[in-house]
Every structure is written in structure tokens, then in C-alpha cells.
Amino acid sequence: MSAALGAILFAGSCLAACSANAESAAPTGTTPVEPSVARTSPTGTVAPFLVPDFDGPAPQPVKAGTAHVLENPNPGASDFKSVEYTVPPGWEIGDVYIGKNLGQTGEVAISFWTPAGVYSDPCRRTTDLSPIDLADHTHTDGGDLILMSYPQIGLSAQDGRAATEARSVIVDDPSEDEGIIALRLELTVPADLDLASCDEGVYVAWPGTRTGERPSDNHIPGQTDIIYQVDVDLGPLVIDASFRPDSSPEDIEELYAVLGSIVMDRY
């Protein structure tokens, strides 16, 4: 990585860049329900699920933009050194979310997290967290992902999310010859959701790791979230790339390009 790139510290469990100017554009934070460290366990027996490779088009990196480096301040939650990403002109670096038209109906955004677990129901939340999808997994001899509790835990099992079937993708990493494998899910927020019916009027996918930290509360009806769970030691790095029903096709393409620009530095 170039020494000219600015290292931007992560914010708690959300690993995102900070900018005072963009803060007003970011959605207002909410106070999360305090989660219990005890996690729920799946019921019944499921067959191991060998995760197929993602067969869609690979996102192409941003061609001309500004590169940023995020140093991992929380190695106790997820074991990697840093993440580099590139944003196009016109993108904002908010306190939690990186994106365009932040807080508006046409928002596209990306954020980085190391959650301890996820809410089983993002609308009606309890203090019991479901383990994240990669909490119970192994690998084939060739390194492919095998999920042992799929789809009974994590984002795959969140109420009303209509998750696509799990797929695997590779995130570039110069310290790994073949990159790092990640679990890919595409989720939606129910289009007919009445946010006022949710606890505190917000839809929260997962809490902040520590008390008082902002949760993943940036959701509106009909929103799509493309989730990468990067398989590093201790716990996965979760990358959330989201767009809304009114996001323009051009902005969604930029979002994919930012996702395609991400380079991990595990060691």
C-alpha cells in the first residue's frame, strides 16, 4: 500500500472512516437493545452445506478515485491488519457509512463491521443474538467453505430478509496467494415494512460490539444489502454494500465498483 494513503481508524465494531463534514449526511444513530453475550443455538440437525462459487459478474474496481486505508483497531474481534478501498468522486466518508447521497432516498453506502452476532428479527429485537453465519463452518481440503448450521443461524435465517442462497467470493489480499474467501449473501428489507412498528422505529441487523456503539440501523423498506463475510481468524470482517429502491443505476454501479476495489491486508 502506498505510504501516501491516509490511514483512517475504524470506529468501534463498525470499521468505517470518519469525517466531520459528512457526519450530518449520515443517518441518525439509535440506541440498540443491549445484547447478551450468550448466543442462541440452532435446533435440529442440518446437512453440511458446501458453498458454491458466486457465478455472477465480478465487480470491477473504481478506475479513478481516492484510496483510503482502514487500520484494524479491534484485532480481538477479527484478525486482519487493514483494508484498502477506493471511492469515486462525489462520495462521502461518514462517521459510519461511506457512500453517496447518504441519508437520502437514493443512498448507496458501504460499511465495515465485526459484529459478535446478529438479531434474529431486526424489527422485533431481543437480547439473544444469533451466531453469524460463519460462526459454524469448516473447509474442504481445497479451502472451500462448508457451513455446518446453514441456514439456521445468522443473516441467512433473519426474519423477512429473503436471503439469496449463500455463495463464496474471493477478496484480494497481497499477503495471500489466492486471496481470502468470503461468504456472500444478498438480503432485502421487506418492501411493505412499517418502520414505526419496529422497536424504537428502526430496523437493526446487528448491534454494535460494545455498549453505546452505533448498530447497523441504516435500513429502509425495499433496501438491498450485499453482504461479504470475510473468513479471517477470530471472527469475520463483515462488509455491507447497500442500495435503496430510489438509488440510480449509475450510483449502484459505483457501489459495485467500490466493493470491487477492496483489498485486504491480513498480515
Environment class of 43 (CB within 10 Å of its CB; exposed 0-12, middle 13-18, buried 19+): exposed
Task: Spell out the residues 6+ positions from residue 130 whose beta carbon is closer than 8 angstroms to its own.
Answer: 39, 40, 117, 118, 119, 120, 153, 154, 157, 158
The mean pLDDT value for 125-135 works out to 95
Please tell me what DSSP assigns to residue 163.
P
Closest CA to 85 of 226, 236, 234, 239: 239
The mean pLDDT value for 108-136 works out to 95
Kindly give the pairing relationship between strand 49-50 and strand 145-147: antiparallel
pLDDT of residue 36: 63
CB 215 within 8 A of CB 207: yes
The mean pLDDT value for 134-148 works out to 97
pLDDT of residue 203: 98
Query: In Å, how far are 24, 40, 108, 261 from 89, measured between CA atoms?
Result: 19, 43, 14, 14
| pLDDT per position as a tens digit, 23-52 | 334 344 444 446 763 444 555 678 999 999
Q: What cell was used for 178?
A: 489466492
Q: Is the pLDDT of residue 19 over 60?
A: no
CA–CA distance, 137 with 265 (Å, rounded to integer): 22
pLDDT of residue 10: 46
pLDDT of residue 204: 98
CB 204 within 8 A of CB 127: no
pLDDT of residue 46: 87
pLDDT of residue 6: 43
pLDDT of residue 165: 98
The mean pLDDT value for 84-93 works out to 97
The mean pLDDT value for 95-117 works out to 94
User: For every residue of 137-159, which 3-state class applies, written as one string?
Assistant: EEECCCCCEEECCCCCCHHHHCC
